[in-house]
């Protein structure tokens, strides 16, 4: 999986060409923004689910993968226009995410099982999805190339190269973020989500249907992850049943970096991770890309143990 759009820049830009250096930097920053925003959509699902039931949903990265495949099938096999395939993928993935919660996580919750049990179950669900979809009669284990449904034209604005795909990806993410913002802060269900993530028992006592809220959160997060999958397929053109592992891991790292449970934190963390990854690959070496990103995380956690925007909860004695 190669992030970065439209070819790689030279590993070390020639600084004597100052203006060119700045343009290359700006283009790399743009690449990082694109990747970061895609990570952000995935990270939001992790952070919302964690915020509401303290679960690291390892299967979330695989919903991202399913979203990508549904998008691919939608406009490539089922003959839908691509701009319909995207929302369809989101809706179907939301349903899948909610089904996973219902079948695998809720039984544990109802039994009061320890958190680690839910975590291991999540790992199991993730493995199941990956192995099942890599069966020959499902998606098969190979990489597939996703043909681009619309032309990726490059044009130059003020010396800066930018492509239609980049614009589309960034614009879509911004729209989805705005919708999410609206849902979480201006609807009843959003208020219920926030209440449950602060104090589940108190919310229940106040008449909130906690199970429903949890379901909805999973659905919402899964829809966003699916959107990320579609955009990823659009931007980087390759999909495979195991494509969710690394982006899922990085998105989860991003969510923790920003403060797990915090929605703005997830976006901030994801942008940082995206930029770090692209800039390291562009200017240092792509070999140590992941190591640098993880080192960044550890350094941040040393100074902000609850993440950049996280709240350090003082335990009452």
Partner 1 sequence: MRPNRKTLIAAAAVLGLYVVIELLRQTNVLDGYWQQVMDLSLIITISALGLSLIYGFAGQFSLGHAAFYGIGAYTSGFITKSYGDTPFWFILALIAGVTAAMVAAFLIGLPILRLKSDYLGIATLGFGIIVKVVLDNTDKWAPIMGGSRGMLGIPHLTTFAWVFWLTVAAVLLCRNLILSSHGRAMITVREDEVAADIMGIDTTQSKTLAFVVGCGLAGLAGGLYSHLYPFLHPTSFDFLKSLDVLLVVVLGGLGSLTGTVVTAVAWVFLLEGLRILPEAFLEWRGVLYALLLVVVMITRPQGLMGGKEWSLYKSKGSSAAPGKGGNSRASA
* Cβ distance to partner 1 smaller for residue 37 or 46: 46
* Cβ distance to partner 1 smaller for residue 130 or 275: 130
Q: How far apart are CA 220 and CA 164, in angstroms?
A: 27
Give the tokens for residue 192: 């219920």
* Cβ distance to partner 1 smaller for residue 76 or 134: 134
Q: Taking CB under 8 A as the rule, which mask of x and - marks residues 49-78 in contact with partner 1?
A: -x---x-x----------------------
Identify the DSSP state of 238.
E
Q: Which of 73, 128, 168, 283 binds partner 1 (CB under 8 A)?
A: 128
Q: Which of 131, 155, 182, 185 binds partner 1 (CB under 8 A)?
A: 131
287 binds partner 1 (CB under 8 A): yes
Backbone angles phi, psi at 297, to 5 degrees: -60, -50
* Other C-beta atoms lying within 10 Å of the C-beta of residue 204: 15
Q: Taking CB under 8 A as the rule, which mask of x and - marks residues 168-207 in contact with partner 1?
A: ----------------------------------------
Strand partners, 163: 154
Q: How far apart are CA 229 and CA 140, in angstroms?
A: 18
- Residue 267 beta carbon to partner 1: minimum distance, rounded to whole angstroms: 18
What's the first-to-final CA gap in the chain, in angstroms? 49
* Cβ distance to partner 1 smaller for residue 64 or 252: 252
* Cβ distance to partner 1 smaller for residue 13 or 125: 125
Distances (CA, A) of 224 to 26, 91, 96, 286: 27, 10, 13, 28
- Residue 308 beta carbon to partner 1: minimum distance, rounded to whole angstroms: 12
Q: Which residues contact 120 (CB under 8 A, 6 or more apart)?
A: none
Cβ distance 1 to 243 under 8 Å?
yes
279 binds partner 1 (CB under 8 A): no
Cβ distance 194 to 21 under 8 Å?
no
Torsion sign across C-alpha atoms 84, 39, 4, 2: negative
Strand partners, 239: 144
Q: Site residues for partner 1, window 223-262 (CB under 8 A)?
A: 245, 249, 252-253, 256, 260
Q: How far apart are CA 196 and CA 114, in angstroms?
A: 19
- Residue 272 beta carbon to partner 1: minimum distance, rounded to whole angstroms: 14
Q: Which of 114, 142, 178, 198 binds partner 1 (CB under 8 A)?
A: 114
Cβ distance 199 to 216 under 8 Å?
no
- Residue 71 beta carbon to partner 1: minimum distance, rounded to whole angstroms: 24
Q: Which of 66, 92, 125, 251 binds partner 1 (CB under 8 A)?
A: 125
Q: Which residues contact 300 (CB under 8 A, 6 or more apart)?
A: 257, 307, 308
* Cβ distance to partner 1 smaller for residue 190 or 248: 248
Residues near partner 1 (CB under 8 A):
50, 54, 56, 104, 107-108, 111, 113-114, 116-117, 120-121, 123-128, 130-132, 134-136, 245, 249, 252-253, 256, 260, 287-288, 290-291, 294-295, 297-298, 301-302, 305-307, 315, 317
């Amino acid at each position: 999986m190669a992030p970065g759009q439209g070819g790689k820049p030279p590993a070390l830009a020639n600084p004597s060409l100052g203006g060119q250096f700045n343009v290359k930097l700006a283009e790399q920053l743009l690449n990082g923004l694109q990747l970061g925003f895609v990570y952000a959509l995935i990270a939001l699902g992790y952070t919302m689910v964690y915020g509401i039931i303290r679960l690291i949903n390892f299967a979330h990265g695989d919903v991202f993968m399913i979203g990508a495949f549904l998008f691919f099938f939608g406009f490539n096999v089922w003959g839908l226009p691509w701009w319909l395939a995207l929302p369809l993928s989101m809706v179907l993935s939301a349903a899948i995410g909610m089904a996973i919660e219902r079948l695998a996580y809720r039984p544990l919750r109802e039994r009061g099982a320890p958190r680690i049990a839910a975590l291991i179950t999540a790992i199991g669900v993730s493995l199941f999805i990956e192995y099942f979809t890599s069966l020959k009669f499902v998606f098969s284990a190979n990489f597939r190339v996703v043909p681009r449904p619309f032309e990726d034209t490059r044009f130059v604005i003020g010396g800066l190269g930018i492509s239609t795909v980049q614009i589309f990806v960034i614009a879509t993410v911004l729209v989805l973020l705005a919708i999410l913002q609206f849902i979480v802060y201006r609807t009843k269900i959003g208020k219920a989500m926030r209440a449950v993530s602060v104090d589940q028992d108190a919310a229940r006592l106040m008449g909130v249907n906690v199970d429903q809220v949890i379901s909805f959160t999973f659905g919402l997060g899964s829809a966003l992850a699916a959107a990320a999958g579609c955009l990823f397929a659009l931007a980087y053109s390759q999909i495979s049943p195991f494509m969710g592992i690394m982006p899922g891991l990085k998105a989860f790292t991003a969510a923790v970096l920003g403060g797990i449970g915090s929605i703005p934190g997830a976006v901030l963390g994801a942008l940082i991770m995206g930029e770090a990854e692209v800039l390291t690959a562009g200017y240092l070496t792509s070999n140590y890309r992941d190591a640098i990103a993880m080192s960044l995380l550890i350094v941040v956690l040393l100074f902000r143990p609850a993440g950049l925007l996280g709240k350090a909860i003082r335990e009452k004695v």
